[in-house]
Amino acid sequence: MIRAAVMVAPGEPIEVRDLPEPALEPGAVILETILSEVCGTDVHLRHGRLSGVPYPIVPGHVSVGRVVETRGEVTDVENRPIRRGDVVTFLDVHETCHACWYCLVAKQSTRCPKRRVYGITYSADEGPLGGWAERIWLKPGVRIVPLPEGVTPERWMGGGCGLPTALHAIDRAAIRLGERVAVQGSGPVGLSAAILARLSGAGAVIVLGDPPARLEAARAFGADAGIPVAATTAEERIERVREATGGRGADVTIEATGVPGAVREGMRMTRDGGRLVVVGQYTDAGDVTINPHADINRRHLEIRGTWGFDYSHVHRAMEIVARHGEQVRWERSITRAYRLDEMDVALDQVEAGAVVKAVVRP
Amino acid sequence: MIRAAVMVAPGEPIEVRDLPEPALEPGAVILETILSEVCGTDVHLRHGRLSGVPYPIVPGHVSVGRVVETRGEVTDVENRPIRRGDVVTFLDVHETCHACWYCLVAKQSTRCPKRRVYGITYSADEGPLGGWAERIWLKPGVRIVPLPEGVTPERWMGGGCGLPTALHAIDRAAIRLGERVAVQGSGPVGLSAAILARLSGAGAVIVLGDPPARLEAARAFGADAGIPVAATTAEERIERVREATGGRGADVTIEATGVPGAVREGMRMTRDGGRLVVVGQYTDAGDVTINPHADINRRHLEIRGTWGFDYSHVHRAMEIVARHGEQVRWERSITRAYRLDEMDVALDQVEAGAVVKAVVRP
Amino acid sequence: MIRAAVMVAPGEPIEVRDLPEPALEPGAVILETILSEVCGTDVHLRHGRLSGVPYPIVPGHVSVGRVVETRGEVTDVENRPIRRGDVVTFLDVHETCHACWYCLVAKQSTRCPKRRVYGITYSADEGPLGGWAERIWLKPGVRIVPLPEGVTPERWMGGGCGLPTALHAIDRAAIRLGERVAVQGSGPVGLSAAILARLSGAGAVIVLGDPPARLEAARAFGADAGIPVAATTAEERIERVREATGGRGADVTIEATGVPGAVREGMRMTRDGGRLVVVGQYTDAGDVTINPHADINRRHLEIRGTWGFDYSHVHRAMEIVARHGEQVRWERSITRAYRLDEMDVALDQVEAGAVVKAVVRP
Amino acid sequence: MIRAAVMVAPGEPIEVRDLPEPALEPGAVILETILSEVCGTDVHLRHGRLSGVPYPIVPGHVSVGRVVETRGEVTDVENRPIRRGDVVTFLDVHETCHACWYCLVAKQSTRCPKRRVYGITYSADEGPLGGWAERIWLKPGVRIVPLPEGVTPERWMGGGCGLPTALHAIDRAAIRLGERVAVQGSGPVGLSAAILARLSGAGAVIVLGDPPARLEAARAFGADAGIPVAATTAEERIERVREATGGRGADVTIEATGVPGAVREGMRMTRDGGRLVVVGQYTDAGDVTINPHADINRRHLEIRGTWGFDYSHVHRAMEIVARHGEQVRWERSITRAYRLDEMDVALDQVEAGAVVKAVVRP
């Protein structure tokens, strides 16, 4: 049997349950979980804010584990064999079909209607298909990424799902060397976006967030300035971004907050002709009123919505962590590790913003 | 003296006045006006909706005239001499500085703080610097474009300022062959956007507008379908666009309405991963409420604000009219030509949507 | 048994053989061949110019057929069922792995090492996996595209594999409305590139090719000018392209010749800062000497190699044929249809350039 | 009188001459030269390899000086006044016309036929319009950039004209975070390209060059690996780049050598679907033979020629030096400073590759 923390239904306490061992198909792998994560999405799941979730579920979409069993030959994308004992992570998104209009014509597999996601769209009745479990069942075709030398499980999980999400946003931002970047939000996505903007050669990185400890973290990770949100008005924040950018506003703004009003504020702190990447509105937190004349048209603004990530972002994120890990030390993001029987506490603390990155050590 | 229709102040009747002949500098040109235009911007000017306008002004920013005098050698961008008798148009924007951050670093001369615009930012006290006049004074450096053979003044003015504006929007849209395009708005910008989308090889062109006569015009200009706005709800319009686009929404939507709510509607009629170009919010017509989660982020939408145009758009628009003029016959847009002493009527009728394209024949 | 024209080995005569009926897996489909094609690639195959070809093979990579059998439920990318009696085409490329670095990180499935191609990389011993056969075996996962109403087999095959190849090149060219395009080559790829450039709103389309009949065809398909290659020197051709483009050279040149020297010539007929798409060098026809200073660097030229096509190009090509078919009438490209026992003649005539598009009617 | 080192004619010794003080127009500025540079272009000038040079000339196109006189109000692009005593550099390119097709339609002012260049296209008879002089006459409209706090003349000149040239190339390369970059050439452009690739977050920076001291410099500036050119064959170099890039070749290659054969080699060390920026072929050093099938078409390669730079590159280069100067310390590039009477020696040593960056201290 495999012990797992199960989210039974929205609003219910997390239960630790024993799940039966899965029957492995050729190409399947079993991981012994080293670390999984507790992220904002899990808070959304607890409140029932995502549609189509087949509760009960085993949450945990980004995880690191040790291979304890493989059924037949399994390889990574470089065609290297995956072997017992390897420490790996994997892409939580699975079963994109490579056969629908979005996969084949638009080439946006993140919109594939068949895609399923570990920790979100699999029922616990189907097996340990999420990271809040002693062991994780990787079905055939799940894309596995070994942790290269020097990348510890803590270092990778310090980025967690926020890192490939932020990488996707940074790709969409297409920062040119020296451009000034404002990052709205100091949660895991915002912090990783700030780090990646810095690594991309941004001319300035300004993080707007809360609480002060996270702005401190942002500074430690390389941001040039932090602007506290609770202690300022939107006008003050916009003004401070303008002051830091030659009076014009940010060349690029990355919205990573989850707060609808941040989108309007982001439009206003971006310079005429600049770019705003909206990555933080993962669930419906309500509406916002904008002035399309002043906020979009007259400003010649470019706004780019960004949803999720695909394999390429995980692959490249791992290379980035391997290259810059000693300098960035993502593991500093991890505030606390929880046991499987502490997940209600973990969710409370993530929701309260009391931790930067929370991980599960089953 | 030069007779001109002068907008004395917002809300005041237009007055026909005699302006003194200007003293020509080397490089200046005098045109005898053949046609100028009355466009939505002139209605905005009449209501005082643009800031920094030095009333009294001579409106009319896009015009065609015959050269009656040149002071010294004047050439077009191909280095061909401009001569007495040539029939020409010119870029209304002048005095961009080629010396500021926007001109030189961002390369967005439409944001140059020194730019001035014929018919809008020059006072009538400075001279006949707008098209609602018998003669127009082209100051040195104004960019002149001769009408090539086969392009009559009526054909060029049928497009008017809406054509280079639409070309800028179409450039920003970057339509790939076969993509389905929705155009919101059936005014001069909307009609030209529909024509240009068709010429770009769009897989379908759907125009949403009013009144029925304009949708007829859109069909005559090559649109595949017209959806009346007054007779439908936003939900119905979105549904009809989806039906016409394989259920997914438009690959590209061009907003050319001036109505804030159209921006939200445009977001919702564009497919996941599609592009929305916002070109119609030229003045502040109020706010709109959007849902950033559903309308931008989850949809991976790209929204591109577009302001004005520069010389390149006028140059290329002229080439497009020369090439496709026989097929498109832009002159069909012109509903009526007005005399200088009829400009209040002209403004009334443009504001009421009673004419498609109104021109002045001084 | 299934009659097929088999290319036994390079240099050997084509043999008509009977192949055994394949044992269908779930998801497989059998087509009764209506038309297949004979293209330049087949000439290359006959001469053994492609590496790794498992002779004997059944050539014919783009085909149209009627569904005579399906094993289980089969759908197209829009999730519509494929049924007995449907007239369809299909993507010749199969078995891209969705698991390698090229598929998942670079997102260039045309470089996937596992991809296999109907008519080229399957042995005749594996079954009727090419179009020169009475029936074609579509293995599970082959991407099928039904011919929409109004698209006859002749119309689709008139474009043949040249059409999606040209669409890929045109996408890479990113033609802006009004840009002037030179197309080098008047074979199937060149003709389709000229048609698609015209449909994209090119300001001029100049085709350089031979023999005169093909230049006539290019004109009939909408090219503005044709320049014969045998009757001119490279300098003359470059000069004529410059004359047709305001003295500057083409904004965009599409090389579709198969002749190495055409790449240098293409560089020289493109304007400073223009784009050259190299799509015609499908096999190794030798070297060319260029001057990197004058031909690339000083000219600020952008050169884009283009290899093959993927599903999206076939899907969109079908939509383009459905939309513009009455105007373009691709079927006019078909010079002659051959029987299975005439394939040596067909190859001779294709190689001699005696036909524009040759098809097989088994 | 103003002492200057004058290049009288190709092949002649440099002469130190006294030039008359220029008569300043409104908007003109006089700099007291602090440092100017001796670059590869000056060697080309000495050998008469550039066409249209009006010998005698005062070479030196990138320089730093102290303002000693201004005629009327002069400002920088941020509209800040330029004052006596300011230490500044300036864009060597002047008199682009903002009136021709290249300036206004193609928006490529580097192709403007009217552009003139300090140190290259002005005759010494016109005045001290080059940096190899005690004082430099900045004509009205020359774009001036003050050195910000912390940027010494040595630090800026350590980059010299190679830095904005390399920035232009890096912009064209559009490096995504983590992509692997090969830089061919270890002269000033190559070194700056390597530095900028590193600052852009390249996943690896591999420099191919000579002599060993320059590869050492490249390593000190942040390159991950250096490959000596004289000691290796092309095949070995390509193989070593492949080894350093997962067997596939560089995602991006920057050619900065001046050697024609490097262009072919660059094609071959770039991965399928990668980008090659050709920036080093500034003068005609001869031809190179390529195989367009294997080197461009089949590899889906993108090749981008890059010529010169414009104001934006100098502006942004200064911001980059201000931001990263302490880390990079470009001044380390400067091997030696020469007096005006030592310029023949300086040219000899630059030509011999005996110095990395040579500067003039008049």
Mutate to test the interface with A, among D167, D168, D171, D177 (most CBs of A within 10 A): D177
CA of C258 to nearest chain D CA: how many angstroms apart? 9
Which chains contact D through at least 3 pairs of Cβ atoms less than 8 Å apart?
A, B, C
Strand partners, D48: none
Q: What is the pLDDT of residues D112-138, one digit of tens each?
A: 999 999 999 999 999 999 999 999 999
d(CA C353, CA C61): 20
Identify the closest residue of chain D to A205 by CA–CA distance: D323
Task: Find the helix or strand (DSSP H, E) in which A178 lies.
Answer: none
- pLDDT score for A236: 98
Task: Provide, as residue numbers in chain A, all residues whose Cβ is less than 8 Å from the Cβ of D203.
Answer: 319-320, 323
CB pairs under 8 A between B and C: 47
Q: How many CB atoms lie within 10 A of CB A257?
A: 27
Q: Which of residues 246-285 of B touch C (CB under 8 A)?
A: 246
Q: Cis ω on the peptide bond leading into residue D140 (within 30° of 0)?
A: no
Contact B316 C167 (CB under 8 A): no
D248 vs D243: CA distance, rounded Å: 8
Structure confidence at residue C83 (pLDDT) = 97
In this prediction, residues D223-242 reach a mean pLDDT of 97
Q: Do B196 and C174 touch (CB under 8 A)?
A: no
The Cα–Cα gap between D324 and A203 comes to: 9
Q: Look at residue C21 in the predicted model and tell me its pLDDT.
A: 96
Phi-psi group of D315: left, alpha or beta (phi > 0 → left; psi -120 to 50 → alpha; rest → beta)? alpha
pLDDT at D163: 98
Which residues does chain D have within 8 Å of residue B143's beta carbon, measured at their own beta carbons?
Answer: 99, 104
What's the pLDDT score for residue D325? 96
Contact between A100 and C79 using a beta-carbon 8 Å cutoff: yes
What pLDDT does C353 receive? Answer: 87
Work out the minimum CA distance from D117 to partner chain A, whole angstroms.
26
Q: Is D108 on the interface with C (CB under 8 A)?
A: yes
* Prediction pTM value: 0.97
**Considering only CB atoms, which chain B residues are within 8 Å of A180?**
none
Q: Which residues of D touch C260 (CB under 8 A)?
A: 291-293
Q: Is C174 on the interface with D (CB under 8 A)?
A: no
Chain A residues in contact with C142 (beta carbon < 8 A): none
Q: Do C100 and A107 touch (CB under 8 A)?
A: no
pLDDT at A71: 96
Within 8 A of D104 by CB-CB distance, chain B residues are 77, 143, 310-312, 315
Residues of D in contact with B78 (CB under 8 A): 101
Q: Which DSSP state fits A333?
A: G
Mean pLDDT, rounded, for A314-331 = 97
Query: Domains along chain D?
Result: 2-146+329-360 (3.90.180.10), 162-305 (3.40.50.720)
Q: How far apart are CA D130 and CA D94, in angstroms?
A: 12
pLDDT attached to residue D128: 98
Encode pLDDT of A72-120 as tens digits. 999 999 999 999 999 999 999 999 999 999 999 999 998 899 999 999 9
The C-alpha atoms of residue A177 and residue D163 are separated, in whole angstroms, by 13
Within 301-360 of C, beta carbons closer than 8 Å to B belong to 316, 319-320, 323
How far, in Å, CA of B290 to CA of B271, rounded? Answer: 16
What pLDDT is attached to residue A254? 98
Q: Which residues are within 8 A (CB) of B285 and not within 5 positions of it... i.e. 6 or more apart? A: A293, B258, B259, B260
> Which residues in chain D have their CB less than 8 angstroms from residue A325's CB?
none
Residue pair D234/D165 in contact by the 8 Å Cβ criterion:
no
What chain B residue is nearest to A111 in terms of C-alpha separation? B272
A278 forms bridges with which residues in the sheet? A255, A305
Which residues in chain A touch residue B298, judged by CB atoms under 8 angstroms apart?
281-282, 305, 307
Determine the Cα–Cα distance for residues D8 and D10; give it in Å rounded to an integer.
Answer: 7
Substitution target from C293, C303, C313 for chain D, most D beta carbons within 10 A: C293
- Could you read off the pLDDT tens digit of each residue along chain C, which spans 362 residues? 999 999 999 999 999 999 999 999 999 999 999 999 999 999 999 999 999 999 999 999 999 999 999 999 999 999 999 999 999 999 999 999 999 999 999 999 988 999 999 999 999 999 999 999 999 999 999 999 999 999 999 999 999 999 999 999 999 999 999 999 999 999 999 999 999 999 999 999 999 999 998 999 999 999 999 999 999 999 999 999 999 999 999 999 999 999 999 999 999 999 999 999 999 998 899 999 999 999 999 999 999 999 889 999 999 999 999 999 999 999 999 999 999 999 999 999 999 988 989 999 99
* Residue C102 with chain D: CB contacts under 8 Å: 272-273
Contact by Cβ (8 Å): A39, A191 = no
User: pLDDT band at A353, cuts 50/70/90?
Assistant: confident
Instruction: Find the closest chain A residue to B304 by CA distance.
Output: A302
Cβ contact, residue pair B99, D315, below 8 Å: no
Look up tokens 């309308």; give the residue: B295
Chains B & D: contacts with CB separation below 8 Å: 44
List, for residues D48-94, the tens digit of each pLDDT value.
999 999 999 999 999 999 999 999 999 999 999 999 999 999 999 99
- Cβ neighbours around C170 below 10 Å, total: 29
Per-residue pLDDT at B66 = 98
Are the C-beta atoms of residues D128 and D33 closer than 8 Å to each other?
Answer: no
pLDDT score for D329? 96
The CB-side HSE value for B83 (13 A sphere, CA atoms) comes to 2
The confidence band for D8, taking pLDDT boundaries of 50, 70 and 90, is: very high
Query: What is the ipTM metric for this complex?
Result: 0.96
D99: nearest Cα among B136, A12, B77, C82 = B77
C4 vs chain A: nearest CA distance in angstroms? 29
Question: Chain B within 8 Å of C200 (Cβ-Cβ)?
Answer: yes
Question: C touches which chains (3+ CB pairs under 8 A)?
Answer: A, B, D
Backbone φ, ψ for residue C206 (5° rounding): -115, 120
d(C-alpha C334, C-alpha C354), whole Å? 12
Min Cα–Cα distance to chain C from D204, Å: 17
Q: What is the dihedral of CA D21, D22, D27, D29, to 10 degrees?
A: -40
Beta-bridged to residue D322, according to DSSP, are: none
| Of D303, D110, A107, B178, the residue nearest C255 (C-alpha) | D303
Query: Rounded to an integer, what distance in angstroms lies between the CA atom of residue A103 and that of residue C96?
Result: 13
Confidence at D353, pLDDT banded by 50, 70, 90: confident
In this complex, is the C-beta atom of C80 within 8 Å of any C-beta atom belonging to chain B?
no
Alpha carbon of B92 to those of B136, B283, B313, C97: distances in Å? 11, 18, 12, 56
The identity of residue A60, as a single letter, is G
Nearest in space to A8 (alpha carbons), one of A136, A132, A124, A118: A124
Surface-to-core class of residue B213, CB atoms within 10 Å of its CB (0-12 exposed, 13-18 middle, 19+ buried): middle
Greatest extent of chain B over all pairs of C-alpha atoms, in Å: 62
* Closest-CA distance of chain C to residue B56, Å: 38
Residue C100 contacts A where some CB pair is shorter than 8 Å: yes
Chain C interface disruption, residue of A74, A138, A311, most C CBs within 10 A? A311
pLDDT of residue B287: 97
Query: Are A289 and B285 inside 8 Å of each other by CB?
Result: no
**C-alpha of D323 from chain center:** 20
Q: Residue A108 class from Cβ within 10 Å (0-12 exposed, 13-18 middle, 19+ buried)?
A: middle
Question: How many C-beta neighbours within 10 Å does residue A95 have?
Answer: 15
Gap between the Cα atoms of D307 and C232, Å rounded: 31
Instruction: Locate the chain C residue with the closest alpha carbon to B205.
Output: C323
pLDDT tens-digit map of A214-235? 999 999 999 999 999 999 999 9
Give yes or no for residue B353 having a pLDDT over 90: no
Of A170, A176, A203, the CB nearest to D177: A170
CB contact under 8 A, A201 and D199: yes
pLDDT computed for residue A6 by the predictor:
98
Task: Measure B76 CA to nearest chain C CA, in Å.
Answer: 14
- d(Cα A27, Cα A139) in Å, to the nearest integer? 7
Shortest distance, CA D323 to any CA of chain A (angstroms): 7
State mean pLDDT over B139-164.
Answer: 97
- A177, A203, A319 member nearest D200 (Cβ): A177
Q: What is the CA radius of gyration of chain B?
A: 20
Average pLDDT over every residue of A172-185: 98
Which residue, among A177, A180, A181, would best test binding to D if mutated, counting the most D CBs under 10 Å from its CB?
A177
The CA distance from C29 to C45, in Å, is: 26
> CB-based contacts of D343: which residues, under 8 Å, 6+ apart?
D5, D14, D38, D59, D132, D360
Whether B81 and chain A come into contact, CB under 8 Å, resolves to: no
* Tokens describing residue D258: 């001046």
Of the partner residues A78, A177, A320, the one whose CB lies closest to the CB of residue D167: A177
> Quick one: pLDDT at residue B237?
98
